[in-house]
Chains A and B, each alone.
Chain A
Amino acid sequence: MNEMNQVYMDNSAATRMDERVLEAMTPYFFEKYAVATSEFAYSQGIEVSESLEAARTVLADALGAATEEFIFTSGDTESSNMAIKGAAFAAKGKKHLIVSKIEDFPVLNSAKALEKQGFTVTYLEVDGEGFINPDKLKEAITPDTFLVSIQHANQEIGTIQDIEAIGTICREKKVLFHTDATHTFGRVPLNVREVPVDLITVSAHTIHGPKGIGGLYVRKGTKLGKWMDGGFQEFDLRAGLENIPGAVGFAEAIKLVTAEENETLRSIRDHLIERILKEIPDTTLNGHHEKRLPQNANISFHYIEGESITLHLDMHGYAVSTGSACFSRSLEGSHVIFGIGGDHERAHGSIRFTFGRYNTREEVDGIVDVLKDIVRELRSFSPLARDKNRKETE
């Protein structure tokens, strides 16, 4: 199979960059390559510095924030590390933080790293669709709590949390609130003038922007400890030569995302979910039907294992991902599917389809047609499917 013919449905992992983004970035490699901090030395520095600030304004605007509240980072991993560890460094003796059980690894592993440094962490349970319970959050907050970090939407099952409710609780209890919006930025509205949130992680790689650039919204007055030391860049919060082409590309990428595009994604998502649940027996949708990312569908195919499904799909030219242990380097099943009360079989048989700008309804029909055969074939010699048939005929 020619790699050019691949139908790519793993857009939450990375996206194909939009040509218009590259076009916007190109001058900053060949003509305007000076560093922004050289503005007092030569004129090219002024131009570059202005471009950086213009990009910052565009991205801050997208969140309803002021320009100086948006910090550029190298991506969502760094942003979440900066938010959580930065808040811990500035916590003035407070030692407790709260995260949900189904956070992505930058948040989860930052919390675990702090645990080793003597902090205590509450891992909030989620229900069968992936929602945290706001009452449980309220109960978990103690006078020692300095931060709550709960994602805007889940990376695997797409569940969108009620962050307005979460933010309101945090505000009442005077605790910082960080949310990982890596998968919602541009796709699901989030405005800091309406939602009481203090720190927001975003990234360009999920919206057809370049890899290696992300951002952290830091509400004015929020104290963060600096942990990347060096120069005074990014309002003295994050040292290092600014990634100007990245920042310009990120701003261009967010400008190109439209409400209309999100509507298209939602419609092809629903088409896929509807067809699979209707046409392939013994399938379960993971997550919520409506309160989910417009670009995400996650379905468990019972009695068979996900790596086998993805490999067959790859041979047919479709790229997707799975929560199976066999797929991961750690050989552990998806912590998200376990988190929503799923068993091993549901985790190993889960397939995540994530859509982007270049997917079409025809591609969705194509993958469902192929999946029907793959699933039937793999089930034809699965001992789990046989046990189930036996029980049904008894």
Chain B
Amino acid sequence: MKSPYSETVLEHFKHPHNIGKIENADGQAQEGSPACGDMVAVYINVDEKTNVIEDIKFESYGCASNIATGSIITELAKGKTIEEAKKITWKEAADALGGLPKIKAHCSVLAVEGLRCAIENYEEKHGLVKDRKATTMEIVRNRLKKVMNPMAGLDLVKTNLIEGISVKDGKVKVSISLPADHQFAASIKEEIIEKIEPLWDVTDVNVEFTG
């Protein structure tokens, strides 16, 4: 069979390694959205003493290069310390796969992002963030860019659903211009808390529906 993909990509696509979800993972992240055509979730369990990634799993909604990169990146990260794993680049993942078609770069970058964000999530939850910048509105807004608006398939910021953000003494308040009884209100609220709560200086997240 002729294919624009390498043998290694096809092999990882056919039989992806480390697929699935880790329940109550030490660190986890979800990147991408149906709008950009690809989504990846990465879960890690880390040995607290050695900082070594002991277990890693991923889930994918995406094309062959997305699935194959998720598979290879979890292989590359397993057994490495979080510091080492953070440094894995897209180029290394692509090389390990025997190359990827250029047009598919954006589909595979997501998996690398997913790994980094899962590590960040672990560090935040375990008080390992070295550079302790105080949380600002800007930081909150950036995190909200990763929360989906399920009606549009795009994030909350892009779809102008954020009415206001306030940050004071560790308390974050986010106002969303949707009615509280909207069919997606509960899941949006849950996702916002999931993204904001791990920030090291945040003690409380309040999501308000103003629509």
Contacts and interface: CB of A to CB of B under 8 A. Distances in A.
Interface of A: 1, 3, 303-305, 307-308, 311-312, 314-315, 324-327, 329, 331, 333, 343-345, 348, 380-384, 386, 391
Contact of A307 (B40, B41, B64): B64
Interface string B146-159: 00000011000000
Interface string B8-34: 001001101001110000000010011
Interface stretch (B44-52, B55-63, B174-182, B193-201): B55-63
A383 B59 contact: yes
Interface of B: 1, 3, 10, 13-14, 16, 19-21, 30, 33-41, 58-64, 66-67, 103-104, 106-107, 152-153, 187
Contact of B61 (A303, A327, A343): A303
A382 B34 contact: no
A13 B10 CA distance: 25
B60 A382 contact: yes
A147 B67 CA distance: 47
Contacts of B19: 380-381
A391 B186 CA distance: 11
A324 B104 CA distance: 13
B59 A382 contact: yes
Nearest to A382: B61
14 contacts: A305-B38, A307-B63, A308-B13, A314-B3, A326-B37, A326-B62, A326-B107, A331-B37, A348-B37, A381-B59, A383-B41, A383-B61, A384-B39, A384-B61
A308 B187 CA distance: 28
A327 B64 CA distance: 10
A348 B59 contact: no
B153 A381 contact: no
Given A304-B61, A326-B107, 9 more contacts: A1-B1, A307-B64, A314-B1, A325-B37, A327-B63, A333-B37, A344-B33, A344-B37, A381-B19
A345 B34 contact: yes
B60 A345 contact: no
Given A315-B14, A383-B39, A308 B63 contact: yes
Contacts of B13: 308, 311
Q: B14, B19, B20, B63: which has the most chain A beta carbons within 10 Å?
A: B63
A344 B35 contact: yes
Given A331-B103, A381-B20, A343 B62 contact: no
A314 B4 CA distance: 13
A333 B36 CA distance: 9
Contacts of A384: 34, 39, 61
Contacts of B62: 305, 308, 326
Contact of A348 (B34, B40, B67): B34
A325 B35 CA distance: 9
A122 B58 CA distance: 45
Given A314-B1, A326-B107, A383 B60 contact: yes
Contacts of B39: 383-384
Contacts of B152: 343
B52 to A, nearest CB: 24
A341 to B, nearest CB: 12
B18 to A, nearest CB: 10
